Structure 1
Amino acid sequence: MTLKELRCLLAIVDAELNVSAAAQVLHATQPSLSRLLKLLEEELGFQLFVRHGRSLAEVTPAGHEVIRIARRIVGDVANIRAYAANVRGGNSGDLLLAMPQIYARHVLPSVLSELVRRYPRLNVHIQTTAEGESLERQMLGSGDMILVSTAGDGVPPGHAIPLFTWKRVVLVPQTHPFAHLDRALTLPELASEALVTYEASRRRDSSLRRALEQAGLEARFACSAQDAGLIKAYVRAGLGIGLVGELAVEDEDCETFAVLECDPALPECVAWALLPPGAVIRDCALQLIQLLAPQLDPQQIRQVLEDGKRPLWPDPLPWRGGATGPAGAGAHAHRRPLPRAMSPGAYLG
């Protein structure tokens, strides 16, 4: 039995028994994962999954126990490696991050550039996730950190660290009647137009739909996507007005669109870093958190992880965009100083 076989097993489980999806996560082929799973089952002497034809249908009772133990083993090995890297002051190894497209494309590039400058032999792996994707399933993975967004009340479960706040803005073509407004777009105006926005906004429990319903309004969706670049393309094509995170607004967008603030009734969003329970955090991961949230003390973060207590974190700083990150100066005229962070909670949508 090898760690490679156990990681293969966990990847298949975390991919909801989709071997092809698990192979993509592990940068392997489907036949190689099927072969590793077969070797593991042959050594154990029983099947870990119920099969329907060539597909995996469900985990067997014995499989659930093996998976539980495998998670502990793989997690313990990862903790030993993280501890060893911290002790020797190593600047190499893999850093596994999971996050929505908006963070991977618009927040992380300049931040990771600085992190890799400090850790030149660091190998960063980024897995993009969908907003609203099952957080519980993500937290079962073997990554070092997950970035998520919330809007509303409450706090994500586990070791959740607030990083910065950001707002949603409306993109309309320069020829649209709204383009000449010098104020925030109201909820009735937002509901009067066909919306092009994130897929998560379609969910009944999304913060967008809740805000509209509380005002006696209903959203009308023309199109939705996971990537802000696609949303902009569909707005340019005339499908409707766009609703995106201000993180995704770039300088060239202001030449194509009028960028409008939203009604304050649409709650502000908070970016969180989620750390796996029971994990030893590496120095490079702490450095990444501090680059994203300079108001945080790395030693306090490490102490919180060791004690397991929920702390009173400093208020997250408002996003300012550009290469300087959350605390930098804003690049776009529509970016005004944001209010202090609201109580974060319901997953963004």
Structure 2
Amino acid sequence: MTLTMFECFMEAVKTLNFTVAAQNIHMTQPAFSRNIAAMEDELGFSLFLRSKQSGLRVTPAGLAMYNGLVKLNTEYGMLRDQAARINRGEEGELVIGILNGMCLDSKTMETVHRFQERYPQVDIKLISYPLKRLLQSVENGESDMCFSVCGAVEGRENLLHEDVFEIENYLIVPASLHCDSKKMYSLKDFREQYFLLSEDSPELNHLLIEKCREAGFEPKTKMAPDYDTKMLWVEIGKGIGINSKEHFMKNSPYVDFVKVKEIRMDGYSMIWQKDNYNPAIAIFYSMFEES
């Protein structure tokens, strides 16, 4: 059934007069009648009864079609409006992947709150992932976007990114070393300690080793199976690692966060799948930039 057939049928039921109905939709009466006849032929039953005595009447089948099409037209309008809201990013959901153990920085938190206030119909979700799965969650569609260190998407052509902020890094050391949190240290001051690496962050491992070499020594290292385990090893005194104060371990009495001159700032990127057309991603990014 074409839209023209639909329009002719609905108007004919309303007026019960083909001539008047044709005039109402700016169509000639013969063309109007042909559309009604074609619709009846396609359906296989009559929609109207025609007689000189009683004029034009709707058949029971025609009335059922009319009532159903009125309901369908209403549902279509609602569906169209909903789709338009989703297309504008005003409805739907936005899933953001966050690294395990990391607290939201103030800029991200502010953007999340502003987004929720401006678009209450969009369900914004934050999901925590281990480092190894953070980018995978974006690639496989579990997350619409995530935040990770700059350079993490290198070699992943299916991912797009924008560098959005910097976070100050600290050397996390066991509290038993009694370091002064106000002093600026060098990595060389900790050359006798074990520097902890993790199997799921080769880029960070390489950066740490290179910074130690630039400081004039070859670091002693231990390899943890993953990023989260590495941080737990620091807490039990098995070695030292690098992280920001956005990590939950900032509240642990068993470690100290100390500044080292070789590694101060770390850039973070907003990352998303290039084939993900969720409009909420662009809206969130724009609001993030406004912050």
Length-normalised TM-score, structure 1: 0.46
For the residues of structure 1 that align with 2:94 and 2:197, how far apart are their CA atoms? 31
How many residues were matched structurally? 208
For the residues of structure 1 that align with 2:205 and 2:251, how far apart are their CA atoms? 33
User: Deviation at 1:193?
Assistant: 1.1
Please list, as runs of the form range in 1=range in 2, the aligned pairs for 1:48-59 lying within 5 A after superposition: none
List gaps (5 residues or longer) in structure 2.
Answer: 1-79
Q: Could you tell me which residue of structure 2 aligns to residue 261 of structure 1?
A: 259
Please list, as runs of the form range in 1=range in 2, the aligned pairs for 1:202-217 lying within 5 A after superposition: 206-214=206-214, 215-217=216-218
Does the aligned pair in 2 maintain the 1:195–1:223 contact within 8 Å? no
Q: Could you tell me which residue of structure 2 aligns to residue 176 of structure 1?
A: 177
User: Deviation at 1:195?
Assistant: 3.5
Please list, as runs of the form range in 1=range in 2, the aligned pairs for 1:1-349 lying within 5 A after superposition: 84-85=84-85, 87=87, 89=88, 91-103=90-102, 105-107=103-105, 111-131=111-131, 138-139=138-139, 141=141, 143-150=143-150, 157=157, 158-177=159-178, 179-180=179-180, 182-196=182-196, 199-201=199-201, 206-214=206-214, 215-221=216-222, 223=224, 225-227=226-228, 233-248=232-247, 252-253=251-252, 257-264=255-262, 266=263, 268-282=265-279, 284-294=280-290
Partner SS state of residue 184, structure 2: coil
Does the aligned pair in 1 maintain the 2:94–2:124 contact within 8 Å? yes
User: Deviation at 1:164?
Assistant: 0.3
C-alpha RMSD over aligned residues: 4.2
Partner SS state of residue 189, structure 1: helix
User: Deviation at 1:260?
Assistant: 0.9
Does the aligned pair in 1 maintain the 2:97–2:126 contact within 8 Å? yes
For 2:120, give the aligned amino acid: P
Does the aligned pair in 1 maintain the 2:138–2:273 contact within 8 Å? no
User: Deviation at 1:233?
Assistant: 4.8
For the residues of structure 1 that align with 2:275 and 2:81, how far apart are their CA atoms? 14
Cα deviation, 1:123-160, whole Å, max 9, x if unaligned, reads: 234444443669588435374223221269x8975532
Is the radius of gyration larger for structure 1 or structure 2?
Answer: 2
Length-normalised TM-score, structure 2: 0.53
Q: Could you tell me which residue of structure 1 aligns to residue 54 of structure 2?
A: none
Does the aligned pair in 2 maintain the 1:191–1:220 contact within 8 Å? no
Does the aligned pair in 2 maintain the 1:151–1:268 contact within 8 Å? no
User: Deviation at 1:246?
Assistant: 3.1
Partner SS state of residue 274, structure 2: coil
Cα deviation, 1:169-227, whole Å, max 9, x if unaligned, reads: 122344424x1364333222344212456554566963112323454412422756433
**Structure-2 change in CA distance of 1:143 and 1:114 (3 Å):** same
